[in-house]
Every structure is written in C-alpha cells, then in structure tokens.
C-alpha cells in the first residue's frame, strides 16, 4: 500500500480526478478517472467519510466507488483525535500492520498524515453493498459470533509479540505505567453522569461511578502477560456486514484506537454492547467458547478455558472507558447521545450480570 513520499496530500475539498487516478495506478490498476461525485457516508464523530462514485475514461476494471476518510470538521473532535493519537494510529495501522493480520479489513489505496494530525487521508475499498452495523439496534447471535470470530485474525498474529512494544505510536510503555486513563475517566465522569445518569438505572450509575474510584480496576491494569493487538472500539458501528453469503461476512473498519492490551477486552466490549441483554445472557458463553476454540486451533497454547472466561469477565469494563471519556470529548449529536446511553446501559448491565464488580477494590 503506497503513501506519499513528501507527506503532501489533498484535503476533502482538494481531491480531484487526477489524484484519484494516481492512487489507482500506484496500486496496479490501469485506469484514468475523468470525473467523480462525492457523498458523505457513515456516522463517525472523530472522522468524516465520503463515497466517491468514479467515472473512467474508456473501459476499465477499476472500482466503481471508493471511500475516503478525513478528520472531522468539528474543532473539539479534531483536538481529541490528536490528543488520543486517533488519526496517527489509523494511518499507521494501514501503513504497517494491516498486511500482517488475517482479520478482514478494507483494501487501502492511500494512507498519510501530517505529523500527529489532525490532517490525514485514508483512501480505501468501498465495502458496499455491505451495511454498517447499528449500535443502537444491536445484532443477533449469528452476527455476534461472526464478529467475535474475526477477532482471532487480529489477536493470534500479534499474540505476545514483544516487537510490537517498540512501536511508540502504538504502545507507550511509560504512559502505560501512569494513572493517565484513571485520571481521564475520573475527570469526565461528573459531566457524563450529569448528562446520561438520569437515563440509567441506579445500579448502572453506581458501577460506572465506582470505576472512577478504583485504581485497581481491570480497565487500568498494566499490560498482561497474555497480550495482543486490540481494536479497543470493536462495536457494530465499526463493522461492515454483508449478508449475501450463508453466514454474515464481517469487515472491520475504524482503526483509530488500536493498541496493545488484553485480547478478551475486545471480545467482552463487542458482546456487551452489541447484544441486547436477554440475547447476550443466552449466547455469550457459547460465543466466547467458540473464540477460545479458535485460538487453540490457531496454535495458541497455555490459555485454558477458565483463564479465558476470567479474562472475559475482567474485560467487561473495557467499554466503560470509551463510553464515558469519548462521549464527553467528541462533538455532541442526537444520535451520539442515544448511542452512548445505550452503551452505558449495556456495558454496566453486562458487568453486573457477570459479577465483575468483584474486581473493583
């Protein structure tokens, strides 16, 4: 996947047919774009995406459409993306990590960033007619199983890979030893409870608040001995789902939070937020069993079922951080408020159902 040699690339208003032609040709596609139209797509709050409908000069095997991702226009979201290194991580993922993984991701034609951002551009495959998952509606067991199984292709190729710790953009060991996440959560908690607390049950509010008091909570733990790449924000809104085949075909997007962490945090995060409570209670143990069996089949050793299930229970807090911190740092929208409310309810209920509050000292 090529990227610019001098770091110069167009912003959303500057993309033209010549530039699109250059990116296709750099990826081995003999095609010349003579015209295109752009339409906004997606519901992202850190980035904004456009679908380009391409017209070619003469017959070609080039793609009919492409997706381009840029930083949000909102100043707060742009600042958040720089502070949390969201823009840098997404670009670096496509530049240096995508090729080593087997999790299904979109083909990338271009990825570049100016310094730490906020200006960046990722040009990628359009996964239509697949549909973006809907965090508000949740999903069924079949989609949840397929989504969790895709995580094997992220976790296994990076399982306990010590070399990844040297990637400063990915994992800052010094920062990981501080209470930065705890302090960030604690700082955003009062505003979060003021905005969303009235919509939550008392026990849901209480466990969310308790996480802001427990330095030893799993969310703030050091990198475990069993670690891997983790997506961090692995939820339905970041999946493209194609139902045309026998089973749902899942492709994963939005790599703005990738880091090193506990693999089961991704699993717990998805199941806790993606399945409604009754469906989750019926399905989660079987889904986690399937994931565990997939790890073993892929060659992971010394990771028995009881260890896996305990890690899953600890992972139930993974969604609290994204819900509380992100909800208060990105541009506020009506859909965003509904989404963060649903996530708060589901993650809190998930942790309570699993008895994970025992991990809050």
Task: Count other C-beta atoms under 10 Å from residue 279's C-beta.
Answer: 16
Evaluate whether 17-125 and 131-359 have a shared fold. no
- Which residues touch 230 (CB under 8 Å, ≥6 apart)? 154, 155, 258, 259, 260, 261, 262, 263, 265, 266
| C-alpha to C-alpha distance for 205 and 64, rounded to whole angstroms | 48
69 has which bridge partners? 49, 122
pLDDT for 58 equals: 86
**Class at the top of the CATH hierarchy for domain 131-359:** alpha beta
91/120 Cα distance (integer angstroms): 8
Confidence (pLDDT) at 44: 60
Domain 17-125 -> CATH class: alpha beta
Residue 177 confidence (pLDDT): 52
pLDDT score at 5:
44
Q: Can the peptide bond before residue 315 be classed as cis, meaning omega within 30 degrees of 0?
A: no
Residue ranges per domain, the chain?
17-125, 131-359
Half-sphere exposure of 277 (CA within 13 A, CB side): 13
DSSP secondary-structure letter at 42? -
Other residues' Cβ atoms within 10 Å of the Cβ of residue 210: 15
User: Which residues in the chain show pLDDT less than 50?
Assistant: 1-6
SS3 state of residue 255: coil
pLDDT in tens, 41-62: 876 667 799 999 999 998 888 9
> What are the Cα distances from residue 346, in Å, to 172, 269, 279, 318, 352?
30, 10, 12, 12, 10
Would you state the pLDDT for residue 3? 47
Phi-psi category of residue 299: left, alpha or beta, with phi > 0 → left and psi -120 to 50 → alpha: left
| Host H or E run for residue 252 | strand 249-252
Q: In whole angstroms, what is the distance from residue 176 CA to residue 182 CA?
A: 11
């Amino acid at each position: 996947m090529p990227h610019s040699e001098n770091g110069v690339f167009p912003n959303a208003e500057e993309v033209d047919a010549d530039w699109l032609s250059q990116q296709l040709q750099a990826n081995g596609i003999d095609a010349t774009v003579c015209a295109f139209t752009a339409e906004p797509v997606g519901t992202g709050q850190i980035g904004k995406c456009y679908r380009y409908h391409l017209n070619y000069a003469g017959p070609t095997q080039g793609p009919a459409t492409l997706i381009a991702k840029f930083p949000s226009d909102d100043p707060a979201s742009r600042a958040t993306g720089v502070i949390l290194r969201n823009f840098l991580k997404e670009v670096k993922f496509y530049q240096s990590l995508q090729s080593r993984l087997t999790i299904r991701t979109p083909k990338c034609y271009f990825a570049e960033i100016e310094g730490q951002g906020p200006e960046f551009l990722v040009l990628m495959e359009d996964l239509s007619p697949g549909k973006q998952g809907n965090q508000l509606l949740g999903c069924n067991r079949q989609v949840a199983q397929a989504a969790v199984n895709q995580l094997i292709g992220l976790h296994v190729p990076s399982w306990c890979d010590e070399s990844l710790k040297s990637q400063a953009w990915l994992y800052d060991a010094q920062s990981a030893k501080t209470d930065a996440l705890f302090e960030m959560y604690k700082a955003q908690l009062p505003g979060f409870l003021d905005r969303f607390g009235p919509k939550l049950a008392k026990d849901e509010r209480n466990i969310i608040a308790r996480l802001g008091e427990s330095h030893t909570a799993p969310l703030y733990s050091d990198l475990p001995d069993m670690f891997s790449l983790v997506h961090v924000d692995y939820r339905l809104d970041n999946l493209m789902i194609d139902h045309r085949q026998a089973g749902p075909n899942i492709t994963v997007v939005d790599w703005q939070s990738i880091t090193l962490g506990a693999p089961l945090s991704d699993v717990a995060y998805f199941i806790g937020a993606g399945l409604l409570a009754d469906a989750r209670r019926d399905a989660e143990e079987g889904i986690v069993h399937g994931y565990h069996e997939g790890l073993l089949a892929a060659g992971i050793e010394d990771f028995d079922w009881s260890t896996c299930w305990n890690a899953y229970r600890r992972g139930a807090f993974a969604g609290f951080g994204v819900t509380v911190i992100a909800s208060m740092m990105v541009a506020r929208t009506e859909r965003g408020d509904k989404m963060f409310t649903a996530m708060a309810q589901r993650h809190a209920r998930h942790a309570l159902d699993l008895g994970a509050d025992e991990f809050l000292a």
